[in-house]
Amino acid sequence: MSARRKKKRKVLRITLTKSPIGYSERQKRTVRALGLRRMHQTVEQADTPVIRGMVAKVQHLVKVEEVEA
């Protein structure tokens, strides 16, 4: 066994809870870029500053949970 411990990777579980219909095209593209296609779909993305920024821009449309993978 190696001397180093494996770091637990942080993951964000993102669920689309509200439809992006009626919102700006930019927000629709952000939701799509997160990997969300349909209502109540859940995706897991790495917890990076880029993903956090995207989530912040559409926080009114999604639910986010922090998970350790």
Q: Distance between CA atoms of 45 and 38, rounded to whole angstroms? A: 16
Closest CA relative to residue 68, chosen from 18, 13, 16: 13
Q: What is the fold of 10-68? A: Ribosomal Protein L30; Chain: A, (3.30.1390)
Q: Distance between CA atoms of 60 and 1, rounded to whole angstroms? A: 45
Q: Is the pLDDT of residue 61 over 80?
A: yes
Q: Over the stretch 5-40, which tens digit does the pLDDT of each residue have? A: 667 789 999 999 999 999 999 999 999 999 999 999
pTM value?
Answer: 0.86
Q: Distance between CA atoms of 22 and 18, rounded to whole angstroms? A: 11
Average pLDDT over residues 37-54: 98
